[in-house]
Each structure stands twice: as C-alpha cells, then as structure tokens.
Amino acid sequence: MNQQISLGFPFPGLPPPSFPQRPRAIKGFGLALLAGIITMLAGIATTILALLYPGNVPGWLAPYIWGGVVIGVLLGILIILGAFLIWVRYWALGGIFVFLCSLANVYLVMVWFITVPWWPWIIMGAGLFALIIGAIGGVLGISGK
C-alpha cells in the first residue's frame, strides 16, 4: 500500500483550477448608498429647521439641537460604509450595518419632528423614505442581489 501524501499539484499541462468571482450586489449597494445620502440630508435639514424656528423646538430638545446633524451624519456615514462593504462582497456585514443603521433613522424621523407649518413633513418623509430603502438595501445586500 502506498502511504505518500499528495499535495495536489495540477498536471503540468493543465492550468490551475479557478472559480468565477461572485457577482456584486449592485441593487443593494445603490439603495444603501442613496439611503445614506438621504439620511445625512435629513439630519442636516432638521437641524437647520430647528435653528430657523427655535420657538417651536420643545424645551427638553433645545440643548440638543446640534444633535440632529451629528446623528444624521453619523448614521449616514455608517450606512454608506455598509454600502461599500456590500460592494466589496462582504454582503452579510455590510447588509447588517445598513439594515440596523437604517432602522435607527426612526430617531431622526420621530424625535426631531418639529411642529412648524409643513416643512417637517417633508423631512420626516425623507427620513422615512431613507429608512425603507435602507432596510430594503440591507436585505438585498445580505442576499447578494
């Protein structure tokens, strides 16, 4: 009986075996990137609106007006980071980043809602839109679509 260890080198006349690359999750990347940009814009717009109409900001929220920019930009950057993780084929990690940070948009949508005539509805709608497309983009990123 032959008990030698074979290292599995290919036959010299044949090329080494190769596998095709996994496809990129273009739909998940695009939706996540758009959600990150809209999240940043919604956070900035909410803070600008709170600075323009300081009388309509609730008393408990007044010391934290600049928090809208910080939270919006931070969530937007994390969503864009997740989008680029999806692009470089780390689908699960990027999809989880995008999904969870998009769900955190509820904070921007609900807490930073200010009762001024109709502008807050636009910002709230943009945050809700970013939440929905970010969640869809995260799920598409996790599934590799």
Domain ranges of the chain: 26-143
Give pTM, 2 decimals.
0.80
Per-residue pLDDT tens for 97-130?
999 999 998 877 776 665 555 667 788 888 889 9
Q: Which residues, in sequence order, are CB contacts of 86 under 8 Å at separation 6+?
A: 25, 28, 29, 32, 94, 95, 98, 137, 141
Between residues 19 and 87, the one the model is more confident about:
87
Residue 82 pLDDT > 90: yes
Of 5-14, 48-57, 65-74, minimum mean pLDDT range: 5-14
In this prediction, residues 40-49 reach a mean pLDDT of: 87
